[in-house]
Amino acid sequence: MLFAIGRHPPLMHLARARHRAATAEAMAEALDADPATVEVQRFPDGERLARIEARLDDHVVLLHDLRPDERIVEALSACDAAREAGAETVTLAVPYLAYARQDRSFEHGEGVTSRALYRALSANADRLVTVDPHTSDVLGFFEGPTVGATAVPELADALGDHGVDSVLAPDEGARGRASDVAERLGCSADHLEKTRHSAEEVSMTPAALDVAGETVAIVDDIISTGGTMSAATRHLLDAGAERVLVAATHGVFAEGADKRLDDAGVDELVVTDAIDGDRATVSCAPALARGVRSLPSP
Ligand code: R5P
């Protein structure tokens, strides 16, 4: 999906995925932009080609996913197509910044996938906007202006009707996000200490906060295997919490995550549609639109 910001007539049509059409419409309204479409053609050998029929001669925001991997090729082709169609600058709006957790070489000889990918993106797009990236450091791999906007206001709104007494982060790194949500809900925040034993298994040590009889929301950036959220949920229920809600910007939901969360006793799940899925109930469009607006003019 493409938008021409401002003065130009509508440019293109809808993205193939339904949920992105809704994201695009909401962004277009927030940005006062004209929605347009990128067509993606698949060849018999599986290769892809993006095509933009409209003539562009302006600054364009391209809303595109980077997950699953095949979308990365589409995004690169769509950036190139925008330039072929005449766009002066391309701002790539990516709801979920894939590979951000691969932010360094952990062992000798390991590639830094985020670096390789974001450099490739910056060879094709001028600016990058995303929502709640795993760390803001990885944005530095994109060689141009970037913004990591946050969906905290929308997550807090979605938690607002649930009578949350306190908000917990599952580890210290997520404490800032949990505190922001707590401030919006007018309640207290704390964090747990997480120790990761394997890709799926983590354990938690106690928070100072007394959660007995409380409704507690755990807030994180990503739910992947669900190991973090399920361990935190168990920990809080063991500590006497009455209900545990979990909220995250990105619902990756790797295989087995649903069962892990169910088995742990999660009462309610709040995730945005930055990654498409049945469980997504909160739109990432306002955050993306805020991100685009906060960039300096091209
Ligand atoms: C880690 O630092 C992240 O913030 C998340 O806590 C983590 O990626 C969640 O992964 P999982 O659901 O597999 O525990």
For residues 220 and 171, give the distance between their C-alpha atoms in angstroms, rounded to a whole number.
Answer: 9
- Do 189 and 207 meet the contact criterion of CB atoms below 8 Å apart? no
What percent of the chain lies above the pLDDT cut of 90?
A: 68
Question: What global pTM score does this model have?
Answer: 0.91
What's the pLDDT at 31? Answer: 82
- Do 119 and 270 meet the contact criterion of CB atoms below 8 Å apart? no
- Do 222 and 249 meet the contact criterion of CB atoms below 8 Å apart? yes
pLDDT digits (tens, 9 = 90+) for 57-78: 678 889 999 999 999 999 999 9
- Do 194 and 107 meet the contact criterion of CB atoms below 8 Å apart? no
For residues 35 and 57, give the distance between their C-alpha atoms in angstroms, rounded to a whole number.
Answer: 15
- Cβ(77) to ligand 1 under 6 A? no
Give the Å distance between the CA of 224 and the centre of ligand 1.
6
For residues 1 and 23, give the distance between their C-alpha atoms in angstroms, rounded to a whole number.
Answer: 9
Residue 152 has pLDDT above 50, yes or no: yes
- Cβ(102) to ligand 1 under 6 A? no
pLDDT digits (tens, 9 = 90+) for 90-123: 999 999 999 999 999 999 999 999 999 999 999 9
- Do 254 and 228 meet the contact criterion of CB atoms below 8 Å apart? no
Give the Å distance between the CA of 292 and the centre of ligand 1.
27
What are the beta bridge partners of residue 51? 39
Give the Å distance between the CA of 225 and the centre of ligand 1.
8
Give the Å distance between the CA of 133 and the centre of ligand 1.
12
- Cβ(133) to ligand 1 under 6 A? no
Supply 121's token pair: 């993106």
Supply 209's token pair: 């906060």
Which residue's entry shows tokens 């040590």?
205
For residues 218 and 166, give the distance between their C-alpha atoms in angstroms, rounded to a whole number.
Answer: 9
What value does the mean pLDDT of the chain take?
A: 88
- Cβ(220) to ligand 1 under 6 A? yes
Determine the residue of 172, 198, 222, 255 to mutate for testing ligand 1's pocket, defined as the one with the most ligand atoms within 8 A of the Cβ atom.
222
The number of residues making up the chain comes to 298
- Cβ(23) to ligand 1 under 6 A? no
Supply 56's token pair: 């562009």
Supply 261's token pair: 């969360």
- Which alpha helices (DSSP H) does 62-138 contain, by range? 70-84, 113-122
Q: Which residue has the least CA distance to atom 10 on ligand 1? A: 224
Cis peptide before 153 (omega within 30 of 0): no
- Cβ(291) to ligand 1 under 6 A? no
Show the CA angle centred on residue 214, arms to residues 208 and 215, nearest 5°: 115
